[in-house]
Chains A and B, each alone.
Chain A
Amino acid sequence: KAGVTQTPRYLIKTRGQQVTLSCSPISGHRSVSWYQQTPGQGLQFLFEYFSETQRNKGNFPGRFSGRQFSNSRSEMNVSTLELGDSALYLCASSPEPSYNEQFFGPGTRLTVL
């Protein structure tokens, strides 16, 4: 089975721009979660989707949004980028029930200049 894939792997943007990151979960996995990892902060939960519905959202500003498609693929969008948005963005998928472990992709490294 192919693992979780994320595209692009690296991205450089400037302040004020917007960015869209993509995640393809493991085949058969219907839950997709997104996390932001910054040095010293660990992984911060952004949101979780299941069957195209957002079931939970972390404490991030409205500039961070996401969606899930009918094939379980997911995208997240960050608008009006700020320097502090520079981070590794990780996507994880899991089958239901939700207590199963999450399987992570390699992440997208976003640098905002």
Chain B
Amino acid sequence: DQQVKQNSPSLSVQEGRISILNCDYTNSMFDYFLWYKKYPAEGPTFLISISSIKDKNEDGRFTVFLNKSAKHLSLHIVPSQPGDSAVYFCAASASGTYKYIFGTGTRLKVLA
């Protein structure tokens, strides 16, 4: 039972344009969400998070949107840069469970 889904395995975007990565979840108990970026041969690196009391969080070029009614979150990267090319994972957690459930990842390729 995949509680966190990233339905797009890959995405290609031109440099300077917006990248939108999507994530859907099924467990309504999830109340904290994170996005990670992963380069080959490295561990995931934290990008940005959002708690369920918010619907948007912004950090520089990265913005995460949360739509609780649709159980959907998205990561926007503006403007996209070639260095953003990596695999992006979303993750979700429910209070008191002490674990994060990760999606299967979306490979973003930013074309110069």
A and B are interacting partners: yes
- Asked if A56 is at the interface (CB within 8 A of a chain B CB), the reply is yes
Interface of A is mostly: strand
Q: List 30 A-B contacts (CB under 8 A).
A: A31-B98, A33-B99, A33-B100, A42-B89, A42-B103, A42-B105, A43-B44, A43-B91, A43-B102, A44-B102, A45-B99, A45-B101, A48-B99, A50-B98, A55-B98, A56-B98, A58-B99, A90-B43, A90-B44, A92-B43, A98-B93, A99-B32, A99-B93, A102-B34, A102-B46, A103-B46, A104-B43, A104-B45, A106-B42, A106-B43
Question: How far, in angstroms, from A102 to B46 measured CA to CA in the complex?
Answer: 7
Question: How far, in angstroms, from A92 to B105 measured CA to CA in the complex?
Answer: 18
Chain A interface residue number, banded:
20 to 34
Chain B interface residue number, banded:
20 to 34
User: Known contacts A90-B43, A104-B45: does B102 contact A98 (CB below 8 Å)?
Assistant: no
Q: Separation in Å of the A99 CB from the closest CB of chain B?
A: 5
Output the nearest chain A residue to B45 by Cβ-Cβ distance: A104
CB neighbours (8 Å) of B44 from chain A are 43, 90, 104
Is the beta-carbon distance between B51 and A99 smaller than 8 angstroms?
A: yes
Q: Separation in Å of the A78 CB from the closest CB of chain B?
A: 19
